[in-house]
A and B are shown apart, each in its own frame.
Chain A
Amino acid sequence: MSDPSANSQTDDLLAPTAGLSGGVRTASKHDSGPKHVAGEAVYIDDIIEPFGTLHLAPGAATIAHGKITKMDLSKVRSAPGVVCVLTADDIPGVNDVSPAHTHDEPVLPDGLVQFYGQPVFCVAAETRAQARAAAKLADIEYEELPAVLLVDEALEKQLFVAPPHVMKQGDAASALAKAKHRRSARMEIGGQDHFYLEGQITFAVPQEDGDVLLHCSTQHPSEVQHNIANVLGRPANAVTVEVRRMGGGFGGKETQASQWAALAAIVAVKTGRPAKFRLDRDDDMIMTGKRHDFIVDYDVGFDDDGRICGLDIQYAANCGFSADLSAAIADRAMFHTDNAYYLGDVEIRSYRCKTNLVSNTAFRGFGGPQGMVAIERIIDEIAMTVGRDPLDVRIANYYGTDDRNTTPYHMVVEDNVLGDLTDDILAASDYRKRRADVEAFNAQSPVLKKGLSLTPVKFGISFTTSFLNQAGALIHVYQDGSVHLNHGGTEMGQGLFIKVAQVVAEEFQIDLDQIKITATNTGKVPNTSATAASSGADMNGMAARDAAMTIKNRLITFAAEKYGVAEAAVRFVPGKVIIGDQAELSFADVIKQAYLARVSLSATGYYATPKIHYDRENASGRPFYYFAYGMACSEVLIDTLTGENKVTRVDIIHDVGRSLNPAIDRGQIEGGFIQGMGWLTTEELWWDDKGNLRTHAPSTYKIPACSDRPEDFRMELWSSGRNVEKTIHRSKAVGEPPLMLAISVHRAIADAIASVADHKVIPALNTPATPEAVLYAVADVAKRMMQNVGQSMPAAGE
């Protein structure tokens, strides 16, 4: 009966519905805004603890790889306040929290340490301070094994967490052999810590029958539920997971919550007391996974115009000690090797390297950024080689609309808006003139140099694991017409809850404040997918709309029957229901009448993304429902004496289709951009030669601060944006894509570095572009320029 993707006509509108407060397309404020600013929004650590709540702390390994030969925890057990101590032996069910059922991620290791800082035991005490103090008292001895800390070494030894994967179109080798120009190089791409402001936390409350209720800061309540049920050796229905809001997620709470949830759950069930596990920031950074660092080796062929005619590219992803989601993440890097460009004959190989480091995980963009930053560097290098403006080389390589439109995984790009977007960003940013200005500035400035770059983003929307593209919702309408909304998506600040509520307000034509947004709970909507892959609003919006339509259709049938009009004559308009020429009732009155007439006012909703299919074996199909596009032009200033750098101006135009909520979307775009900028500039992860992460706190790991936000920051939602697919009100996903707009920053820095040698020498700039990395690249460019005097071709920059 109800098909949520059978779009209603209002879907395509640009303006909000008149007379409705808080329907779609309005810049509604974040539902929690007034609570956030007053300190009244309740995070898990803020829930009033029942009397007797225990607190957990982890005990960490101090080697990167080895066997535990002795673990004497007697001092831990006898420390003040300690109630219980857990080791691998205390796990009642399966000792595994691997998300993809690879059985390689123990809750606590059974004798084998696989990374420095791995929790090997866990303490529960009366207070958190007591637990933390006790955790330091263990006497542990190890037999060390050789630790593999570098990706190259893992690659050489063929140590993988998942099998290598290949994607290809045409014949890259012979295309390369025929190419007029060829360039090969290596790029190293750094990882990134999520640095969500709220660290990992679970608060476990024991229930009857040995069941447990978990308040868990997770993007994936269903997975936590299933994992913890396994760990407890209980069926899934013994575990309920609830999350009202997270203090940030960014992918870091897609799989990383389970381990702490499991330990808290075990303690709660074992002691019958509530148990809270909140990781200290340093432990959080040491013990949880991050964005994968990559090594990319490439060999590209191109013509005099800079058009790519063949590419052989190899990714080696540093996965850490276990698989986690690495296979899908490494896949997504492959999927985004093309970014916005037709690559022709291409071969993409990917290795998922196993190292003795914490297991890397999802992070906004999910591998996509690593693929894209590599191809954008390649394009710049091509441009320098053929002596064209990099933007012109980008345009020359853009996907075509009628031809040159197949991706390396054989999907036809049907929604290409690159040309129009480029025209608009060119005008907005005044790129051509500013290119000349930058050159003029650099000519007269010996120390400070400017750089400019304009880069596109084309990002595939859908989980590439097709079955994950499903969502559920639950709506109750109470007798007074107030609405209770629930769905499987989680709120981590991205504004999902308000967007979905707006969809429901629009469907019922009631004001937003009549809808109660409620905590995600596995007891209400089961078997959900993670709130990830930017899919939250697309899928949960549709599922909620489906539920609303079910109720609405029941109301229509009821009203048509009762008032004797055709169903088509029953119309929902702002605040009211018009029943032909018979009646005009408030929404609440219709609800009251329907209740008395025994019409069900509760419904579930469901959505499965259409059109997608993917044959992974042959790396071929349509893994993405559609693409999200955006463009950014960044200008930077670097100091050639110190390598310090600063972004001075940014212009962004981003395509969110028909925005569900322009204010929320803008927030995602600028927040994503700044986060991407941090990844590519100041955020450096540094391990010592023992595999001990030494940047495990904000004192040493530097995310962007307020002054890093470019002074001149201009951003527009693309006014022509419209999803050609029938997504929820023709909107587009916005969570991840904007992060990759920041690649323009990295490329602008490289441009500034290249100016030192008059763009005659290609800078070998890796990520992040810390002052140190930039100064080395400057020095290297200057040195090679001296060596090259007399030669005409730029030297390769490895």
Chain B
Amino acid sequence: MTQHTDITMRADIRFLLGDEERSLRNIDPQMTVLDYLRLEERKSGTKEGCAEGDCGACTVIIGEPNGDGGMAYRTVNACIQFVPTLDGKQLLTVEHLKSKDGSLHPVQQAMVETHGSQCGFCTPGFVMSLYQLWLDGGEEDRGAINDALAGNLCRCTGYGPIIEAARNAGGVAANDTTEQKRRTDLATRLSDMVKDAGTLAVEHAAGRYYAPRTSDELAALLVAHPDATVLAGGTDVGLWVTKMLKRLDPIIYIGDVADLKSVSETETAVTIGAGVTYSRAHDALGRVAADVGELIRRIGSRQIRNAGTVGGNVANGSPIGDMPPALIALGAKIVLRMGDVTRDVPLEEFFVSYGKQDRMPGEFVQSVIVPKPALGMTFKAYKISKRFDQDITAVLGAFAIRIADGKVAEFRAAFGGMAGTPMRAKKCEAALIGQDWNEASLSAAQLALASDFAPMTDMRASKEYRMLVAQNLLTKLFIETSAPDVATRLVGKEAAHV
């Protein structure tokens, strides 16, 4: 064990591959889990279809103690997860599903029965997503199945037989005591594996990797390495490695920082720790406003939401990240910390310009504070993309509006995809505030929007479309807030009139 800023360090990555313990030393910390499986373990069941988290062929399951004596399982994209993030966890792949006697697992059998594979290349990934559903008790609702499979692309089957397999496969029974005991034992085994072993610090010739366990450790490490790459879910960072072939050194992983993993909720706000995945933040943020929940449902895929964080989305600073416009419209703040000093920044001020955020070297995002809309305030968000599921936004409009006596009393409008950063449409807001909420003021607001933004043309949309659709989103807002009987949504209908 090496000493590092008063933290006890440990060099070996410990995890379970199925039931087998692994203790890896001397491994390039930015090797992906997929490469590890295929090249080091020579387990080739898990496939590479894209190496960027978008096709799901590499789907594996990570199991870890759920803090409650049991296990929490989640699907992730092995192609963009780094091996050291497995520390203290169990990795399950398609090779682990058959029973000892060689018979297929119910989800595998269901796939065979429904003719759910054609070329079969996507199949191991689907099987793992189905296995996750099975572990969670099974699923028959088409919408829930869509959400669970949104991150698995199949080019052959058209999905029909796979959906049927999902419905037929069943799931583990809630009162299955053998399974419960298995999970409790496993959770204990995993906890024991890394208990008292110190903080993981991989110092390989190719690069260094630290996985602090507390915010204080994290803060200290970042002060010592202000140029480090902070790694949360890796759903952005992973691609820097697999697609841009970047070398990151050192990497400081925040996924094991226990006190960054909390979600707290009061009457007026929800606070999301920087280590909280979308999946875990989903319910609480859905209670802030139905459209926040719907927006999260459409971020990436189940696998991406099982890894990616709101903090990462914000820190990444992309002009087309989905959370920032919604959070800006809601008036969210982020809490940044450097050393022992923390500060709050209103989110809209955090995005300075394209590629530049108000974050100093050595500083990290600790949490995001999302206020709940005050009484009478309506929140709506509309994500426009070529495909409904797992697509990056072309334009996103998020609106918080309060109408009092037919007039717009308060209005905050924020857009993604319209400028170099997620940004408020201040002229548009000004055109509406204090006005009657009617077609005339709507037109004025739409006109004003054209002077708020000068969007760009790229592969996702032309600048003309971006402007036109952004203006039309105001119309949609108008209709949804003034004509509740009118159907306005193809997806996420539930959120339209709440």
Contacts and interface: CB of A to CB of B under 8 A. Distances in A.
Contacts of B472: 641-642, 775
Given A667-B161, A771-B384, A697 B123 contact: no
Interface string A26-50: 0101101111111111110110100
A281 B50 CA distance: 5
Interface in B315-364: none
A702 B118 contact: no
A1 interface: no
A643 B470 CA distance: 12
Nearest to A196: B155
Interface stretch (A380-388, A476-484, A703-711, A743-751): A703-711
Contacts of A114: none
Given A639-B490, A697-B54, A709 B117 contact: no
Given A30-B115, A197-B49, A197-B119, A447 B479 contact: yes
B475 A641 contact: yes
Contact of B119 (A245, A280, A706, A771): A245
Looking at A246, A280, A705, A711, the one whose CB has the most chain B CB atoms below 10 A away is: A705
A675 B159 CA distance: 11
A709 B160 contact: yes
A641 B47 contact: no
Looking at A30, A197, A247, the one whose CB has the most chain B CB atoms below 10 A away is: A197
A569 interface: no
Given A34-B104, A37-B104, A197 B155 contact: yes
A495 interface: yes
A706 B491 CA distance: 14
Contact of B160 (A448, A493, A670): A670
Nearest to A772: B465
A409 interface: no
A713 B163 CA distance: 12
Interface string A680-707: 0010101000000011011110111111
B486 interface: yes
Interface stretch (B91-99, B188-196, B258-266): B91-99
Contacts of B98: 38
Contact of A709 (B116, B156, B159, B469): B159
Given A40-B45, A198-B121, A675-B155, A646 B491 contact: yes
B24 interface: no
A248 interface: yes
Contacts of A194: 155
A9 to B, nearest CB: 30
A281 B51 contact: yes
B119 A37 contact: no
A342 interface: no
Contacts of A84: none
Nearest to A685: B459
A94 interface: no
A453 to B, nearest CB: 18
B491 A35 contact: no
Contacts of B121: 43, 196-198, 247-248, 493
Interface in A445-498: 445-448, 492-495
A492 to B, nearest CB: 6
Given A33-B111, A697-B50, A705-B153, A41 B120 contact: yes
A195 interface: yes
A315 interface: no
A595 interface: no
A298 interface: no
Nearest to B382: A642
A197 B386 contact: no
Contact of B47 (A40, A247, A713): A247
A775 B491 CA distance: 17
Interface string B463-485: 00100110011011001000000
Contacts of B473: 641-642
A767 to B, nearest CB: 13
A133 B468 CA distance: 42
A644 B490 contact: yes
Interface in A296-312: none
A245 B155 CA distance: 15
A142 interface: no
Contacts of A494: 118
A705 to B, nearest CB: 5
Interface string A193-233: 01111110000000000000000000000000000000000
B118 A448 contact: no
Interface stretch (B143-151, B270-278, B369-377, B407-415): B143-151
B67 interface: no
Contacts of A38: 45, 94-95, 97-98, 104, 108
* 10 smallest beta-carbon distances between A and B, as pairs: A39-B45, A493-B119, A247-B121, A36-B120, A674-B158, A493-B118, A39-B94, A698-B54, A707-B146, A46-B44
Interface of A: 27, 29-30, 32-43, 45-46, 48, 129, 132-133, 136, 194-199, 245-250, 280-282, 445-448, 492-495, 637-639, 641-646, 663-664, 666-667, 670-675, 682, 684, 686, 694-695, 697-700, 702-709, 711, 713, 770-772, 775-776, 779
